[in-house]
Amino acid sequence: MKKLLIALMLVCMIFSIAGCAKEEPSPATSGKSAGISGEVNKQEAEDIKVKLYFPNNDASEMVAVEKTVKVTGTTKYKAAIEALLAGTTDKKLTNVIPKKTKLLGAEVVKDTIKLNFSKELIDDFNGGSTGEEMLVGSIVNTMTEFPEIKKVHILVEGKTVDTIKGHMDTSVPLTRMKELLK
Amino acid sequence: MKQLIWKFTLAALCMVIFLAVGTGSCQALPRNEITSFHYSTYKDGDRNWLKIEIGLDRDKLDFEVSANPDRQNQLWVLMKNTDSGDVKKDIGLDRKIARYMTFRKKNKKDLQVMVAVDKSLDEQECRVYLSPPDKKIKETRLVIEIADSKAPEPVKDEKTNLPEDEILNNVAGATIVVDAGHGGSDTGAIGPNYLKEKDVTLNIALEMCRILKGNGARVLMSRYTDVDVFGPYATDRQELQARVDVAHNDPLSDIFVSIHCNAFTSPEANGTGTYYYPHSYNDSALAQFIQSEMVQATGLRDRGISSARFYVLRNSRIPAVLVETAFISNPHEEQMLSESRCQHAMALAICRGINAYFGNRIK
């Protein structure tokens, strides 16, 4: 009987101490990269269809343009952005991304793609709320056409940027900008 | 029988250990607790004062005073690291100077005191301070004093100097933050004929300042000249936050209005638009009132109001809008934006929108 009571008391003490112990941070959710899930293993060229988003000339809406791009030893994401940077010849649409901008890299982590652009993305851009929305929107909406991509983080020269030209907060990954589509 | 006593002793021991561990080591920080509550009224010349005294068991207290951004008659005092003790959660006051007050838990550790004054914080004077123990009362008290009116100021009726079309009836006493977009090292967008956005936004903001002050509003400007708001060599975030802070640093700030010129890669894009971030109904309401006046005054194409993830809007704690007056990248609108007549018309239209907001907003 005594032994049982002592055991009970011990359990009680352990409980009371455990109940008080500072809450341990839950084990960090593994931040490991989903890696190059978009990498194409085959070396031979593969044609895929992508949807690229361009604003119309009066910047009242974004229009999807379908294009077939070749994916050779590169990811489909890179191929789509390269096609976006190359622009459209449609006279009703505007190439909003500054011409000299280059894509320096693309990396997928879980559902987020990090796109690293050259400095011309900001330096050669004139600004304006609408301009900024359309610039960011064309990139974000083109990428989120891939169902596995939910967010886009824009980097310039490898660094997070607070804003493109003083309006949008681009320091965080952005979700699809549906408001720009009609 | 002996065994029963033994059992009891053990159980008691368990409880004691549990309590000691449970309350002692978990709460290492000494907390303040309210020990008494008392209010009284007194007269000071023509003004009546309500004095609320909240007794504390410690002689130090961190507290923050602010105004509820959505309700003009609510004063907030955040008592850090404080428990409410036995004090009632809701207390009726004299009902002439202030109606009632509430104590609510905030951020787990803190206590939020809300005092609903009779009219509004703009019309009544408030002061909050710590009072040390004295001969009569042996404890430190947090004192909140509220008067039924503002200290009388020499009356300056500047309205009479304003042209009739500039007279606005709802802005007197309001605190309006006007942010002239860009400035200093940041030109903003540049038009095809080299007009700079930062110069246009400053002119419009200064004109708004004149009209609003003339109508008795308090105006806080992010800049009065062609300068960076944070200072030179700032990061973009520091610069934008400095604009948001103009409002944050003044608890009476009612609304934040940022003035910009729009731009797009194609010169075709045109029109006027207003942006907001949907913190509350008041954000879109303010945007719509300004947008309607802008369209009417300028005859520009109505691009409507839109919600957007803009830094100065998202980070604002009060209703905030960003007005994209017209497209500086469109040659025709660039010409308009350069004319002082048009800058005046836009400034007046925005002020009218603000006036309509204060006349109609949900309090």
Domain ranges of chain B: 32-147, 158-360
Collect all residues with Cβ–Cβ distance below 8 Å to A112 and sequence separation of at least 6: A149, A150, A151, A152, A153, A173
- The angle subtended at Cα B250 by Cα B352 and Cα B363, nearest 5°, is 50
B6 at the A interface (CB within 8 A)? Answer: yes
Q: Do domains B32-147 and B158-360 have the same CATH topology?
A: no
Whether the predicted interface score ipTM is above 0.95: no
- Active-site entry in B207, B324, B333, B334: B324
Separation CA B96–CA B48 (nearest Å): 9
Asked if B268 is an active-site residue, the reply is: no
Please report which confidence band the pLDDT of residue B139 belongs to, taking 50, 70 and 90 as the band edges.
confident
Into which CATH architecture does domain B158-360 fall? 3-Layer(aba) Sandwich (3.40)
Set of chain A residues whose Cβ sits within 8 Å of the Cβ of B239 = 166
Separation CA B191–CA B262 (nearest Å): 10
Q: In this structure, is residue A28 part of a structural domain? A: no
Q: In this structure, is residue A117 part of a structural domain? A: yes
Q: Do A57 and B269 touch (CB under 8 A)?
A: yes
Question: What confidence score (pLDDT) does residue A12 get?
Answer: 47
Q: In this structure, is residue A68 part of a structural domain? A: yes
Into which CATH architecture does domain B32-147 fall? Sandwich (2.60)
Please report which confidence band the pLDDT of residue A177 belongs to, taking 50, 70 and 90 as the band edges.
very high
> CA B134, B138, B140, B141: dihedral to nearest 10 degrees?
-90
A168 at the B interface (CB within 8 A)? Answer: yes
Q: How many domains does chain A have?
A: 1
DSSP labels for B176-228? EEEEE-SBTTB---B-TT--BHHHHHHHHHHHHHHHHHHTT-EEEES-SSSS-
Please tell me whether residue B337 adopts helix, strand or coil conformation.
helix
Could you tell me if A63 and A54 are in contact, meaning their C-beta atoms sit under 8 angstroms apart? Answer: yes
For residue A173, what is the nearest residue in chain B, using CA coordinates?
A: B309
Set of chain A residues whose Cβ sits within 8 Å of the Cβ of B28 = none
Question: What confidence score (pLDDT) does residue B363 get?
Answer: 57
pLDDT in tens, A5-18: 555 555 545 554 44
Q: In this structure, is residue A132 part of a structural domain? A: yes
Set of chain B residues whose Cβ sits within 8 Å of the Cβ of A99 = none
Contact map slice: B 155-184 vs A, CB within 8 A? 181-182
Encoding tokens for residue B333? 């609108």
From the list A20, A55, A129, the residue facing B22 with the nearest CB is A20
In the DSSP assignment, the letter for residue B300 is -
Neighbours of B91 (CB within 10 A): 15
Query: Which segments within chain B are labelled E, that is strand?
Result: 32-44, 47-56, 63-67, 74-79, 82-83, 90-92, 98-106, 110-117, 126-131, 141-147, 175-180, 218-221, 255-262, 272-276, 302-307, 320-327
Please report which confidence band the pLDDT of residue B134 belongs to, taking 50, 70 and 90 as the band edges.
confident
Contact map slice: B 186-245 vs A, CB within 8 A? 186, 188-190, 197, 235-237, 239-240
Whether the per-residue pLDDT at B155 is higher than 80: the answer is no
Question: What confidence score (pLDDT) does residue A163 get?
Answer: 94
pLDDT in tens, B304-333: 999 999 999 999 999 999 999 999 999 999
**Across B56-75, average pLDDT:** 86
Question: What confidence score (pLDDT) does residue A51 get?
Answer: 95
**pTM for the full predicted model:** 0.65
Could you tell me if B213 and B171 are in contact, meaning their C-beta atoms sit under 8 angstroms apart? Answer: no
Question: What confidence score (pLDDT) does residue A44 get?
Answer: 64
Encoding tokens for residue B41? 């009224």
Please report which confidence band the pLDDT of residue A37 belongs to, taking 50, 70 and 90 as the band edges.
very low
Question: What confidence score (pLDDT) does residue B7 get?
Answer: 64
Set of chain A residues whose Cβ sits within 8 Å of the Cβ of B306 = 179
Q: A110 lies in which domain range?
A: 37-180
Q: Do A96 and B269 touch (CB under 8 A)?
A: no
Question: What confidence score (pLDDT) does residue A3 get?
Answer: 59
From the list B236, B266, B308, the residue facing A162 with the nearest CB is B236
